[in-house]
Amino acid sequence: MTREKLNIAIVGLGFGKEFIPIYQKHPNTHMYAICQRTKEKLDAVGDQYKVAKRYQHFEDLIQDPNVDAVHINSPIHLHAPQSVAALKAGKHVACTVPAATTVEECRQIVNAANVARRNYMMMETAIYTREFLFVREMRNNGKLGRIQFMRGSHQQEMAGWPGYWEGLPPMHYATHAVGPCLAIVRGEAEYVCCFGSGRIEDRLVANYGSPFAVETALFKVRNQQLAFEVTRSLFETARQYRESFDVYGDKTAFEWGQIENEPPIVHVGEKPERVQVPDYAHLLPEPIQRFTTKGVYDDEHAHLSFIQGGGHGGSHPHLVHEFVSSIVAGRPSFPDVYQSVNWTSAGICAHESAMQEGRRIALPDYHSEAAGSH
Ligand X SMILES: NC(=O)c1ccc[n+]([C@@H]2O[C@H](COP(=O)([O-])OP(=O)(O)OC[C@H]3O[C@@H](n4cnc5c(N)ncnc54)[C@H](O)[C@@H]3O)[C@@H](O)[C@H]2O)c1
Give the interface with ligand X as residue ranges (CB under 6 A). Answer: 11-15, 35-38, 58, 73-76, 78, 96-97, 125, 162, 305, 309, 312
Q: Which is nearer to ligand X, 283 or 304 (CB)?
A: 304
Q: Specify whether the CB–CB gap between 200 and 242 falls below 8 A.
A: no
Q: Which is nearer to ligand X, 76 or 281 (CB)?
A: 76
Q: CA geometry: angle at 334 spanning 329 and 339, to 5°?
A: 130
Q: Which is nearer to ligand X, 118 or 312 (CB)?
A: 312
- Strand 147-155 relative to strand 242-249: parallel, antiparallel, unpaired? antiparallel
Q: Which is nearer to ligand X, 266 or 277 (CB)?
A: 277
Compute the residue count for the chain.
Answer: 374
Q: Which is nearer to ligand X, 249 or 313 (CB)?
A: 313
Q: Specify whether the CB–CB gap between 178 and 189 falls below 8 A.
A: yes
**Min separation Cβ 109 and ligand X, Å:** 15
**Min separation Cβ 40 and ligand X, Å:** 10
Q: Which is nearer to ligand X, 55 or 252 (CB)?
A: 55
**Who contacts 335 (Cβ-Cβ below 8 Å, separation ≥6)?**
121, 122, 124, 127, 179, 183, 343
Q: Which is nearer to ligand X, 44 or 115 (CB)?
A: 44
**Min separation Cβ 28 and ligand X, Å:** 22
Q: DSSP assignment, residue 87? A: H
**Min separation Cβ 36 and ligand X, Å:** 4
**Who contacts 182 (Cβ-Cβ below 8 Å, separation ≥6)?**
188, 189, 221, 228, 339, 342, 343, 346
Whole-angstrom distance, CA of residue 30 vs CA of residue 8: 6
Q: Specify whether the CB–CB gap between 176 and 230 falls below 8 A.
A: no
- Provide the 10 A C-beta neighbour count for residue 59: 11
Q: Which is nearer to ligand X, 147 or 178 (CB)?
A: 178
**Min separation Cβ 227 and ligand X, Å:** 25
Q: Which is nearer to ligand X, 78 or 363 (CB)?
A: 78
Q: Write the burial class of residue 26 (CB in 10 Å: 0-12 exposed, 13-18 middle, 19+ buried).
A: buried
**Min separation Cβ 271 and ligand X, Å:** 33
Give the residue among 296, 339, 344 at the shortest CA–CA distance from 317: 296
**Min separation Cβ 96 and ligand X, Å:** 4
**Min separation Cβ 57 and ligand X, Å:** 7
Whole-angstrom distance, CA of residue 127 vs CA of residue 138: 14
Q: Which is nearer to ligand X, 97 or 174 (CB)?
A: 97
Per DSSP, the chain holds a count of helices (H) and strands (E) of 13, 15
Beta bridge partners of 11: 35, 72
Q: CA geometry: angle at 226 spanning 222 and 232, to 5°?
A: 90
**Min separation Cβ 243 and ligand X, Å:** 8
**Min separation Cβ 125 and ligand X, Å:** 4
Instruction: Please provide residue 106's backbone torsions phi and psi, each rounded to the nearest 5 degrees.
Output: -60, -45
